[in-house]
A and B are shown apart, each in its own frame.
Chain A
Amino acid sequence: MGLSSSFFGQKFGISERDLDRYLGQALDRGADYADLYFEYLATSSISLDESIVKSATQGVSLGVGVRVISGERTGYAYSDDLSPAKILKAAATAACIADSPSKVDTVGLTPTLQHDLYPVLRAPIDQPLEERVLFVKRADAAARFKEPRVIQVQASYADSLRHVLIATSDGKLSFDRQPMARLNVSVLAREGEGTPQQGYSGGGGRVGLDFFTGSNSPEAYALEAVRQAIVQLTAVEAPAGESVVVLGPGWPGVLLHEAVGHGLEADFTRKGTSAFSGRIGQKVASELCTVIDDGTIDSRRGSLNVDDEANPTRHNVLIENGILRGYLTDHLSARLTGTQSTGSGRRENYQHIPMPRMTNTFMLAGSSDPEEIIRSVPKGIYCANFGGGQVDITSGNFVFSASESYLIENGKLTRPVRGATLIGNGPEALQYISMVGNDLKLDQGIGICGKEGQSVPVGVGIPTVRIDKMTVGGTAR
C-alpha cells in the first residue's frame, strides 16, 4: 500500500514530502535517528450493571509523536494537532533536546514488509452498536440463569480501531490498522449471609465480532465467571510457606511474564540493572523450559503486524531448554548493543516514547500428561487462574496472585483455597520446574502490561507445569 491510499494519506492528505520535511526538521540540529508516529484511535465501550446497560462511551484521539535520538539521548515531543506548523514545532522541540554534533540525512522512505495477522474485514467498531449491546445483555442473562447465589453481574464490552503511520529517518515507512475487542464479565456470588465472592472471566483479541461465539460467547464467559465465584464460596485459607506448586495451562503463564519476561527487556539488560543482565548462554531455567515471545500469532491480543518503530514483530526465543538465548530489543537498545531489533519496540500511544516490551509470551509444551503431573504431588497447591503480577527486575523478585487454586493432597485436587500471592526470584524460580505438560494453552485475550506508566495489550501462555518449590503467601499453617 502506498502512502496516498493509506488512512493518513486519504483522511489527512499527508504526503511523502510532508514526512520528509518533518523528519528533516527533526534531524536539523544533528542526530543519529528520528521517527514519526501518527496515531488515530477510535474507541467505544458499553457497560452493564444490575441488568441495565447503564452507560456507553465512544470517542476519538489523534496525534503525532516525534522522536530524535542522538547517542543514548532521546528527545521527544508530540502534538494532538496534525497541522504542519504544529508538527514542525514538535519536531523542532525534539531536535533541540537531542542536540548533537553527529549528522545524518533522511533517506527515501520504503514501505516495510510486514505481517497480515488480523485481516478483520469489518472492525467491531464499524458495526452497529446494537450488536455489541447484545453481548453484555446475553452475558448478564446467562450469569443469572438458574443460579440464585449470583447477586451481582457486571459485563463490559470495549473495542478500538487504531490506525498508525510510522516513518523513520533510516527509510522505513509503515502503516497498520489495529483492531481490538474485549468482553469481560464479573460476578459476585453469596451463600446466605456469608461473605460474597467474586468470579471473573473474559476474552478478546484483534478480532471481529464473529469471534464471540462458542467458547468465546458471552454465555461461556458468564458461566466461567459464575463457576469461579461459586468455587470460592467453599474456599479455605491458602497455605503459608514453601510448597510444590502446579500451574494449570493458559493464564498462569503470567509467571513467565513476571519471572523472566520483564527482566529480559533490553533497556534494563543493556544498563546492567536487570537480574538477567550479562547472562546470555547461562542456565536460567530447568532444561524442560523453552520460553518464546511471539508477536506474530494470528489475531492475538499481543500481536502486531509491525511494532511501533516500523519493525515487523518476530518469533523470539528467550530461553531454549533452560539456556538464556536472547533479550527483547527496540531500535535504541539494539543499536547501542550492536544487534538487530527483535520487533519489540512498543508504546501506549503517540504521547509516549517506545521501549522494549513483550507481545505474547509463552512456554512450549513438554511431554508430561497433565493428570500425571497432579498425581505426582503428595502435598501442594494447584493454581488454575491468576490475577496480575509484578516484578522488581533488579533483584529479580516477582509476585503473581492466584485467584483460583486448590490443595493437592495425595495426588488429587481437593479443597479450593482463597486468593494468595506467590513469590519467587526470576533467575531461580524456573530452575525448580520438574515437569512440563503437553497441553500448552494461550490465555483468553484480556492481558494488560504496565511499565513506566505505559500500558500495552499482551498475551501469555503455558502448559501445565510442576514447580518443586515456591513460596505461597496464604495464612494457614
Chain B
Amino acid sequence: MTETELRIIAANAVQQALFSGATDAECTLSDGSEFSVSVRLGEVEKIKEADSCGAGIRVLLGQKQGSSYTSDLTPEGIEQMVASAIDIARITEADPYAGLPEASELGQLEIDLGLYSPDTLSTAEKIEIAKRAEAAALAFDPRITNSDGASFDSHSGTRVFANSRGFLGSYRSSSCSLSAVPVAKSGDRMERDYWYSIGRDPSKLEAPELVGRLAAERVLRRLGARKVPTQQTTIVFEPRVARSLVGHIFSAVSGDAIYRKSSFLLDKLNHLVAHPSVTLVDDPNIPGLFGSSPFDDEGVPGRRHLVIENGVLKTYLLHTYTARKLGLATTGNASRGLTGSPGTGHGNLYLEPGSMTPKEIIHAVGTGLYVTELIGQGVNTVTGDYSRGASGLWIENGELTFPVAEITIAGNLSQMLENILHIGNDLDFRGSTSAPTLAIGGMTISGAE
C-alpha cells in the first residue's frame, strides 16, 4: 500500500472511533517488508522474504481507555478493530491522568532525518555479501574450525500515526545489517563470537571482509579462557557491552519507573548521580541514526535532552501519561508497538565520549578485567543491584593478557555510576543506545576460590 493510502486508513480509523462514541482516539499503522538470508560454510542455509502490515488503535471513553489491534487493514478489519477497542474500554476504570497530548504539544520535525533509502541489492548480491563475510572469518585462522553462519538482513517500512487532536504523520525507514558468527576450537573447548554492521542501506555497511575478520579476531582471543579468583577490581566495558549500562540508566529515568517509585534514581532530580565526567544525551533528531524519528509515538516532536549533565540528573524521560502523573510536561519520549498503550522510549541515547583512547584506558587501569560479553538478566533497576555473567580479557601491567570466562561481575548501579574512572573517545552508533569504552572501579568479580 502507498503511504497516502495508509494515512487515509489511519485517519478514517480515528474518525470511526469518534463516531462510535470514543471521546478521543489514536491509530498507529505499520506496513513493511523483511528479507533475511543466512549462509553457513559457504552454502545458503535460510532465506526469508515477506511483507506484513498491522494496525493498532487506542480509544478513550472519557478517562477510560482500551485498545485493539489487527493484521487486517481492509475496511471490515479496521471496523472490527475499532469496535473491539471500544468494547474493551468499557471494562476499564477511569484514570484521571489518561489522555492524549494537548494539540499545542503535537507536531513533527520538518528536516529530512535520512531514515529511508531504497534497497537496491538483488537477492544474489545479498547472498554474496553474507558469503564473503563468512569466508573472511573462516579463512582468518586455522583454529576457526566451524561457523554458525553469516547473515544479511534488511527491512523497510512505513509508520503512520493519527489522532483525534488533529495529528497525522508518517515516515518511511529502512535498515540492513550484516553479521558473522565464527566458531573456534582449542583442545575440547569451543568458543563463538560475532561482529555485525548496521546501516540504513547497504552502502553504509562495513565491508564484508572487515565484518568477518573482526568476528574472527574476537572469537580467537576467547580461546583458552579461564576463571580468575574472586576479588574486587576495576572493570573496563568495551563499547559493545558499555551500551547495556546506558539501557539500565534509561529504565531508571523513565517516567513509569519514577511514578511507581521503582527506580534507584527516584528523588534524584538535580542531584549528583554519576561521576562529574558523565553526560548522558537523548537526541532523536540526528540524521540517519537508529534512534531518530520525526515525532514520537504520540505525535509529539522529540527533542534533544541532557538526561545527565556533568554527573547531575537533569530530567526524566516522559510521555504524556507519566508527565501528567509527575506534574511535568512530556519530553516527547512516547514509544509503542501496535498493541496497548504508549510506554517510554528513547531516541539516540548515548554517553558523551571522553578524550582517552581505549588503549590509554587499559594502560591507566593497570590491573582489572576488560569485559567483551555480558550474559543474563541480573540487573535490578529498582535497587540498582547488578550481577551478570561476564567474559573478556584480563588486564595486567596495563595490557590485555589472557582470556577470562565463567565469572560474574557485580556491584550496584548507583555506585557504578559514581565510580566511572575513565570514558573513552570511541563512541560509535550501532543502534539506539551507545556508549564509548568505560572503566568502573570497585566492582566484584566472582570466580575461582
- Interface pair A420/B191, CB less than 8 Å apart: no
Does any Cβ of A come within 8 Å of B407's Cβ?
yes
Quick one: closest B residue to A277, CB to CB? Answer: B190
- Which of A129, A389, A400, A473 has the most chain B CB atoms inside 10 A of its CB? A473
- Interface pair B66/A56, CB less than 8 Å apart: yes
- Interface pair A80/B387, CB less than 8 Å apart: no
Residues of B within 8 A of A60 (CB): 69-72, 80
Question: Would you call the interface of chain B mostly helix, strand, loop, or mixed?
Answer: strand
Q: How far is the CB of B244 from chain A (nearest CB, A)?
A: 13
Q: How far is the CB of B255 from chain A (nearest CB, A)?
A: 13
- Interface pair A62/B72, CB less than 8 Å apart: yes
Q: How far is the CB of B18 from chain A (nearest CB, A)?
A: 19
Does any Cβ of A come within 8 Å of B105's Cβ?
no
Does any Cβ of B come within 8 Å of A225's Cβ?
no
Residues of B within 8 A of A392 (CB): 192, 373, 375
Residues of A within 8 A of B54 (CB): 61, 80
Instruction: Return the CB mask of A63-79 against B: 1 if under 8 Å, else 0.
Output: 10000000011111111
The B71-107 residues at the A interface (CB cut-off 8 A) are 71-72, 80-81, 84-85, 87-89, 91-95, 98
Residues of A within 8 A of B91 (CB): 46, 53, 56, 129-130, 133
The A98-132 residues at the B interface (CB cut-off 8 A) are 98, 129-130
Question: In the complex, what distance in Å separates the CA atom of A2 from the CA atom of B146?
Answer: 46
- Interface pair B45/A97, CB less than 8 Å apart: no
- Interface pair A388/B375, CB less than 8 Å apart: no
Instruction: Return the CB mask of B403-420 against A: 1 if under 8 Å, else 0.
Output: 001111111100000000
Does any Cβ of B come within 8 Å of A442's Cβ?
no
- Interface pair A238/B192, CB less than 8 Å apart: no
Does any Cβ of A come within 8 Å of B335's Cβ?
no
Contact of B53 among A58, A80, A97 (CB under 8 A): A80
Which stretch, A19-27, A212-220, A421-429, A432-440, touches the partner chain B? A421-429
Question: In the complex, what distance in Å separates the CA atom of A97 from the CA atom of B380?
Answer: 45
- Interface pair B68/A59, CB less than 8 Å apart: yes
Knowing A197-B382, A399-B388, A418-B385 are in contact, say whether A394-B190 is a contact too (CB < 8 A).
yes
Does any Cβ of B come within 8 Å of A321's Cβ?
no
Residues of B within 8 A of A77 (CB): 48-50
Question: In the complex, what distance in Å separates the CA atom of A399 from the CA atom of B378?
Answer: 9
Cross-chain pair count, CB within 8 angstroms: 257
Q: How far is the CB of B138 from chain A (nearest CB, A)?
A: 14
Knowing A59-B81, A62-B72, A395-B191 are in contact, say whether A474-B387 is a contact too (CB < 8 A).
yes
Does any Cβ of B come within 8 Å of A272's Cβ?
yes
- Interface pair A241/B449, CB less than 8 Å apart: yes
- Interface pair A390/B410, CB less than 8 Å apart: no
Question: In the complex, what distance in Å separates the CA atom of A79 from the CA atom of B378?
Answer: 38
Does any Cβ of B come within 8 Å of A198's Cβ?
yes
Does any Cβ of A come within 8 Å of B276's Cβ?
no
11 more contacts with CB within 8 A, not counting A401-B377, A472-B446, are: A54-B341, A55-B66, A58-B88, A77-B48, A198-B380, A238-B387, A395-B222, A395-B391, A419-B385, A474-B410, A475-B411
Which 3 A-B residue pairs are closest in the complex by CB-CB distance? A473-B408, A399-B376, A59-B69
* CB-defined A-B contacts under 8 Å, sample of 27: A46-B91, A52-B93, A55-B340, A56-B67, A56-B92, A57-B66, A57-B88, A63-B71, A75-B48, A76-B47, A90-B50, A188-B260, A195-B382, A238-B387, A240-B445, A241-B447, A390-B375, A391-B375, A421-B387, A424-B406, A425-B406, A471-B406, A471-B448, A472-B408, A474-B444, A475-B410, A477-B230
Using CB atoms and an 8 Å cutoff, list the residues of chain A in contact with chain B: 44-46, 49, 52-63, 72-80, 90, 93, 97-98, 129-130, 133, 151-152, 154, 188, 190, 195-198, 238, 240-242, 271-273, 275, 351, 353, 387-392, 394-395, 397-401, 418-425, 471-475, 477
Using CB atoms and an 8 Å cutoff, list the residues of chain B in contact with chain A: 40, 43-54, 56, 65-72, 80-81, 84-85, 87-89, 91-95, 98, 123, 146, 148, 183, 189-192, 222, 225, 227, 230, 232, 260-262, 264, 339-341, 373, 375-378, 380, 382-383, 385, 387-389, 391, 405-412, 444-449
